[in-house]
Amino acid sequence: MSTGSNPSLPLVLLHGWGMNAAVWDGLPPQLGGLPTQTIELPGHGARTPARADLWAWADACLEAAPEEAVWLGWSLGGLVAQAAALRAPKRVRGLIQLTATPRFVQAADWRPAMAEETLGQFHQGLLDDPSGTLSRFLALQVRGSDAARETLRTLRQELTTRPEPDPRALADGLDLLRDEDLRGQLPDIACPALWLFGSHDALVPAAVAERIELIMPGARTQVIAGAAHAPHISHRRETLTAIEDFVAEALG
């Protein structure tokens, strides 16, 4: 579907678990000619929590979003964007997934994912040491990146610019990462889609790209060499180029 008839169509940006809208501060105000609009996930930043349900989180973001937009979701934000595209296909005109996946934990038929025990450790950590758990999650996001130290410093700085996430929302978000599986519904997403992965991502392995190509044959996939889970920070130029090319070629 073209955006040419509406050149002011916005680009909605959804951050990941435990983060906030400040993660997008390093991006230009327009991407591919589309003005950006950040939306915080329920219970993150200044947003109030929502019911612990993926569709409730998608509805909360849809309520805050423009009537029509291209949606870009990072990590857990990508899962919420997928749900929004399924919930309101006429409103989501394009879908960009940044180190996201339809299923975050491993299964017998889905090996490129986190072990469920890893998320279990974060759950327990939230009870014992919330701030330390969030810090460990940040470190896991940058592990293996060519610019790990600088990226981790940026993520930590960005966290401090907005209110701390609600502890209940953090626990609910981990539940979504553990329990949700949208693989069977991805073929129902008809809008143009781009999936970006990091070659060194420890949370969403780049091998997910091959699975997406089978599930969504019309989608574009790209692996950013040297990047981990936050390529928009560690490999900003490559990430922006991929997004701009997608907007121009698939949505222009």
Q: Token pair for residue 99?
A: 């180190």
Q: Are 250 and 103 in contact (CB under 8 A)?
A: no
Report helix, strand or coil for 206: coil
| Separation between Cα atoms, residue 10 and residue 29, nearest integer Å | 10
121 is in an annotated binding site: no
75 is in an annotated binding site: yes
225 is in an annotated binding site: no
17 is in an annotated binding site: yes
30 is in an annotated binding site: no
Closest CA to 206 of 216, 215, 196, 214: 196
Q: What is the residue whose two structure tokens read 């949700």? A: 180
**Which residues are known to be catalytic?**
75, 201, 229
229 is in an annotated binding site: yes
Beta strands in 125-192 (DSSP E): none
| Separation between Cα atoms, residue 29 and residue 242, nearest integer Å | 16
185 is in an annotated binding site: no
Closest CA to 249 of 39, 38, 32: 32
Closest CA to 215 of 244, 182, 245: 182
24 is in an annotated binding site: no
138 is in an annotated binding site: yes
| Separation between Cα atoms, residue 121 and residue 112, nearest integer Å | 19
Residues that constitute the known binding site: 17, 75-76, 137-141, 229
Per the annotation, binding residues for substrate are 17, 75-76, 137-141, 229
